Structure 1
Amino acid sequence: MDVLRIFCVAMCVCLCQSEDGDLGYSLTIGNAIDVFANYGDLSQVSQVISADYDEDVTEPAEPFREKNIRVFENITYAEYSGDTMIDMNILLCGTLDELLTTYFQNFRIEGTDKPWKAFLGDWIHDEIMRTLGIEPSPSLDNCCYVLVKLTKVERSVQLGNLDRVVVKDYVRRAIEGLDVRNASDVRRFMKSYGTHYIDSYVIGNFIYQVFKYKRDGYNLLRSYLRRSRRQPNSDIVRYYFSSFFLREVGEIRIASGNKIIEDWARKNLRDSQYLFSRPSLLRLHYNPILAFKLNDILDTGALLGLHLKTLKPLFKDKFTADRFAEIVENDMKLWEINA
């Protein structure tokens, strides 16, 4: 009985070391996460893409639901309000890999060149294609893509300088007992206290549509947009998005997964060309009334950008900091290759 009582007291002491709100699951600037805990499927714990295509999801989405822990005592940060109106972008992607890289262009994870793999690396090809709103295809030869998206930013948050930051006591004690020459010891530390901290993030939403192109049509569109960067002619842009150049017009999706807004877009953003009528975000390019309507109903339940940095600032000793970062980044490369 005495042994059991001692064990329980010890457990309580360990749990108390990270209490007072230090452990959470919502998006908190400066907190640390273990990227490897859900590597390849981070999209399941962060609302970054409309993945629930088989479900009727109408409830407001939570942008971030990954376990994180407070490791710094006295952080500072700046918060900025977003734009009041949606902004349209037409993004050219020569391959599927470029399409995924472009989709996640505002996501950075120190130690990897392909952050999208941390979010979708474990997904099978067909799941990724359906999530992007396009039909799975057994062959990707000679296919190009254009990603059209309209973004609405609610707020962005940026962590302040960490030069004089104070490390939490329970993290400092764990560091004192850490042997960074032992990779296994370092990995155990990662599981308890994380690999990266949240340096910045952006909250809002965007609605997107993927157009799959024939190579020749894609090259013509790319040449035209390069010549007309300042103010492309709406009629000419519409012509290059016609069936003559396209292989497929993807479904309209929304990053927050809000099916009510997706349904509204499919019904109200129909574009008629020749004998065809189909949903197209390009209608918003030359119909400001619809653009204002969408702006009014667009929610802000998606994570639009995220920058994660390795936990080097935890370690005051340069050798320890560099060794920790080296192990994290080497593991990141291995996971990236195998994803």
Structure 2
Amino acid sequence: MAFRYGYLSLSMKVVPRNDSEWIFREPTIDIFTDADLYALQPNQRSGRKQRRVFDGDFHMEFCDNIKQLVQAYFRDFDFELLDQPWKAFTSSWSIETLARNLGINSSFIAKEHCYVLVRLSRFRDSSRLARTPSNLKVVEPVQREIDDIVVGDVASVLMFIKKFGSHYIQSYVTGNSLYQVFVFNKSSYRQIKDRLKNQGISNITEMELHQYFSPWNAELVGSIKVASGNQTVENWASSRLRANYLFGSFPTLLKSKGDPRLLGKLNSLLKNEAILQMEMRTLSAAIEDPSKRKWFVEVLDNFLKLWESNL
């Protein structure tokens, strides 16, 4: 995977793309034998599943700058040894691509703006390895390549990574999400942030909340986006999730907050079409020899630090 850093949004559906129904574009590679036997599904972790109006999560994040906004979007993605995992997806993006994926105009990607990310995530499928890879056997082709790793030889490690990648999936959550970005000037942003911090969102009336996140207070009310790029869902959200005012209306994801009817509809509309959370761990765990394992980590860590420093 290391050689795809910066371009992972082309291989994993994490932002809107409407070119196909794929979640992982490229085929995955089996590293461990019988790994499926040790994958915990949700019902194995929590017993009988409780029926809810909406099986997912609603949250809001205040972001002082564009960097924090991108971090917030990729908050639930963790790659071992990567200090800034969001860059694995976004470092190849132009300003125009970043703005399009966030649902805002590129002119609002500037240091004088602050942002609030509102997201409604519908969880569909999840899995986590119940056993550590050190307790799992690797498939024969992987073991042969591990045998060819030579301590002190960088090329042998890079050859392994080229063939089998650098990380394995420890856990994932798939489904779909709606999200929206609100852009504020610094003064309005601080006022709203302090108000919600002191009072709590549950203690603010719906009318007051819509006023804060309206064209009167926000520099820009961004478009409601769908993580998978499903245009049918996006059109539905843009027409149904709207707040009315004297001279018209504007789209707001906050409309769904606490509304059982809308949440029930979205619970059905948001299918299993995108990756919402992912935890990646290095393949060093597959290497039994301590000296080879240490060398693998050293080479990979240096490679990733060099990559991050050059961005």
In the TM superposition, what whole-angstrom CA distance separates every residue of 1:154-182 from its partner, at most 9, and x where no partner exists? 12100122232112222222222221311
Preserved contact between residue 2 and residue 161 of structure 2 (Cα < 8 Å): no
The letter of the residue matching 2:61 is L
Deviation for aligned residue 1:64: 1.5
CA distance in 1, matches of 2:212, 2:178: 21
Alignment partners' CA distance in 2, 1:301 and 1:35: 24
Residue 186 of structure 2 corresponds to residue 215 of structure 1:
yes
Give, in whole Å, the separation in 2 of the partners of 1:289 and 1:246. 27
Any residues of structure 2 matched to 1:119-158 within 5 Å, and which?
A: 119-137=89-107, 140-158=110-128
Partner of 1:3: none
For the Cα contact (< 8 Å) 1:92–1:145, is it kept in 2?
A: yes
Query: 2: distance between equivalents of 1:135 and 1:250?
Result: 8
1:123-153 CA-to-partner distances (Å, cap 9, x unmatched) read 1011111111000117613211101111110
SS in structure 2 at match of 1:137: helix
Q: Say if 1:242 and 1:310 are closer, same or farther in 2 by CA, change over 3 A.
A: same
- The one-letter amino acid of 1:216's match is S
Instruction: Determine the structure 1 residue equivalent to 2:164.
Output: 193
CA spacing shift, 1:316–1:331, aligned 2, 3 Å? same
* Aligned-pair CA distance for 1:273: 2.8
Q: Displacement, 1:277?
A: 1.6
The Cα shift of 1:243 comes to 2.5
- Post-superposition shift, 1:259? 0.2
Inter-partner Cα distance in structure 2 for 1:139 and 1:255: 20
Q: Which residue of 2 aligns with 1:68?
A: 28
Deviation at 1:244, TM superposition (A): 3.0
| TM-aligned CA deviation for residue 35 of structure 1 | 3.0
Q: SS where residue 246 of structure 1 aligns?
A: coil
Would the alpha carbon gap of residues 325 and 67 (structure 1) be closer, same or farther in structure 2, given more than 3 Å must change? Answer: farther
Residue aligning to 1:28: none
Q: C-alpha displacement at 1:229, in angstroms?
A: 2.9
Of 78, 82, 90 in structure 1, the residue corresponding to residue 40 of structure 2 is 78
What is the letter of the counterpart of residue 255 of structure 1? A
SS of residue in 2 equivalent to 1:245: coil
* Contact kept in structure 2, 1:207 and 1:253, CA below 8 Å: yes
What is the alpha-carbon distance in structure 2 between the residues aligned to residue 138 and residue 256 of structure 1?
A: 23
Counterpart residue type for residue 207 of structure 2: D
- Distance in 1 separating the partners of 2:169 and 2:57: 26
Q: Structure 2: how far apart are the matches of 1:179 and 1:168?
A: 20
Question: How many angstroms apart in 1 are the aligned matches of 2:159 and 2:254?
Answer: 50
Structure 1: where are the runs of 5+ without partners? 1-33
How well do the aligned residues superpose, as a CA RMSD in angstroms?
Answer: 1.9
1:48 to 7, 11, 14: 14
2:14/2:274 contact within 8 Å kept: yes
Deviations 1:43-88 (A, max 9, x none): 1111111145xxxx6x6x3221234321212431201158851432
Relative distance call for 1:191 and 1:268 in structure 2 (3 A) is same
Q: Which has the larger radius of gyration?
A: 1
Verify the 8 A CA contact 1:242 1:273 in the aligned structure 2. Answer: no
Structure 2 gap ranges (5+): 44-48
**Equivalent of residue 177 in structure 1, options 148, 152, 176:** 148
Quick check: 1:337 aligned with 2:286? no
Alignment: residue pair count = 299
Return the structure number with greater helix share. Answer: 2
C-alpha offsets along residues 286-323 of structure 1, whole Å, 9 cap, x if unaligned?
54322222222222211001111111112112221111
SS of structure 2 residue aligned to 1:189: helix
**Normalising by the residue count of structure 2, what TM-score does the alignment of the two structures yield?**
0.90
Q: 1:95 aligns with which of 46, 54, 65?
A: 65
Task: Provide the secondary structure at the position in 1 that maps to 2:264.
Answer: helix
Residues 233-244 of structure 1 aligned to structure 2 (within 5 Å): 233=204, 234-244=206-216
| Alignment partners' CA distance in 1, 2:203 and 2:60 | 11
Identity of aligned residues (%): 33
The equivalent of 2:272 in structure 1 is: 300
1:202 to 169, 173, 195: 173
**TM-score with structure 1 setting the length:** 0.83
- Secondary structure at the aligned position of 2:96 is classed as helix
